[in-house]
Amino acid sequence: MRIVAWMLLLLSLCVLSIAAPQLGKLRQPDWAFQVIDPAAQPPATEETGPVRIPGSAKTYTRADIENLSAPPDWFPEENAPKPDIVLRGRGAVLACGACHLMSGLGHPESADLTGLQSAYIVRQLQDFKSGVRKDMSRMNGIAAAMTDDEMKQSADWFAARKPAPWNRVVETGTVPKTYIGPGRMRYPHPDRATEAIGNRIITLPEDPGRARNRDPKSGFIANVPVGSIARGKALVETGGNGKTIACGICHGDNLKGLGAVPRLAGVHSIYIARQLYLFKNGERNGLDAQLMKKPVAQLTDDDIVAISAYLGSLAP
C-alpha cells in the first residue's frame, strides 16, 4: 500500500508540473496582439520618389517616414510648438510622434493620448519605466531611458490635444484576409480574399497608404462581429448583472474620463481589448491598474470584444 501511495503522489506531481504552464498561460489572441510575420507578407512595392499626402506641402522619402527618431511632421503649423521629444528621439528614446502621431491620436498599436490628464500620462510612463506595466513592443525600453523632464513635456503636450473621431466601428460577418505589415498595422491582402470575422476585432486603415505614411488625418475602421455593439452597451452600462462593473462609475457618465481616470469613448477598439487582456493577465499593473482587476476578472473573450466594440463606437 505504501508503494502504491508513493506512486500516486509522484503521478499527481507529474500531472501538476505538466498542467502548471497551461494554467499560467497568458491570453494574448493574435488579432489583438499584432506581431509581424515576414513569411505572411506579400511582396513589397516601395515608392522610389518623394512621398506626399493630401493637404500637406511637405515631402519625405520612405526612409524619412520609417525613421522612428525623426518621423514626418506633415502639418508643422498645427499643434505648434511641439516639444523636441515629440519630434525627435535620442538613442533608445524614440520620437513620441512616430507612433502616437503629431495629432496624438495614434495608430491601432499605440495609445490615443488626446484629452488624457498629464498626470495620468506621466504615471503610465513611470509604470513602463519600473516594469509594473508591460508593453508588447517598445514602451518599456523607451520609458526606461526617458528623463523626468521629457516625460512631463510630452505628457503636457499630448494632454492639451483635443480628441477627434478616428476609429469608425462597423459590424460585419466577413472581413478581408489580412497580414501584419509595417508599423505592426493590419493591411488587407492584395488577393482581395475574405474570411469570417469570428470573435475578433479586425482594424484596418481607411487608406492603407496614408496610414503607413503616418498621415495624422487618415483614420481607421474597426470591423466587429454583428450584434457586438449592443451587447457591449449592456455590459458597459449595467455591468451585466454582476459580471462586471458599469464603466461610467469610474470613467464618467459619458465615458469621456473623470479626473485622472482616462477617456474610453472613441478610443481604438483593438487598443481597449488589448488593455482588458493585459489587466486580466496581470501584465498591466501599477496603482491605476488595481482598480481594473475586479471589473475584468469574469470577462470572457466575447465580453471583451463586445465592450471594446461599443466603447470604440462612441463619439470621443
pLDDT tens, residue by residue, 195-218: 999 999 999 999 999 999 999 999
Round to whole Å and give the CA distance between 231 and 263: 20
pLDDT of residue 23: 35
Helix (H, G, I), strand (E, B) or coil at 301: helix
pLDDT of residue 182: 86
Is it true that the peptide bond before 72 is cis, omega within 30 degrees of 0? no
Round to whole Å and give the CA distance between 233 and 210: 32
State the pTM of this model.
Answer: 0.89
The pLDDT of residue 6 is above 70:
no
The pLDDT of residue 24 is above 60:
no
More confident of the two residues 143 and 137: 143
Over residues 123-137, the mean pLDDT reads 92
pLDDT of residue 306: 98
Over residues 282-298, the mean pLDDT reads 91
User: What average pLDDT does the structure give for the chain?
Assistant: 90
Burial of residue 192, with CB atoms counted within 10 A of its CB: 0-12 exposed, 13-18 middle, 19 or more buried: exposed
Domains with residue ranges and CATH for the chain:
62-159 (1.10.760.10), 164-313 (1.10.760.10)
pLDDT of residue 1: 44
Confidence category of residue 136, pLDDT binned at 50, 70, 90:
confident
pLDDT of residue 46: 67
Round to whole Å and give the CA distance between 236 and 293: 16
H or E element: which one contains 126?
helix 118-130
The pLDDT of residue 121 is above 50:
yes
pLDDT digits (tens, 9 = 90+) for 37-77: 887 888 776 667 899 999 999 999 999 999 999 999 999 99
pLDDT digits (tens, 9 = 90+) for 230-240: 999 999 999 99
pLDDT digits (tens, 9 = 90+) for 175-198: 999 999 988 899 999 998 999 999
Other CB atoms closer than 10 Å to residue 138's CB: what's the count? 17
The pLDDT of residue 10 is above 80:
no
Confidence category of residue 260, pLDDT binned at 50, 70, 90:
confident
Give Cα separations from 64 to 50, 58, 218 (angstroms).
Answer: 10, 12, 19
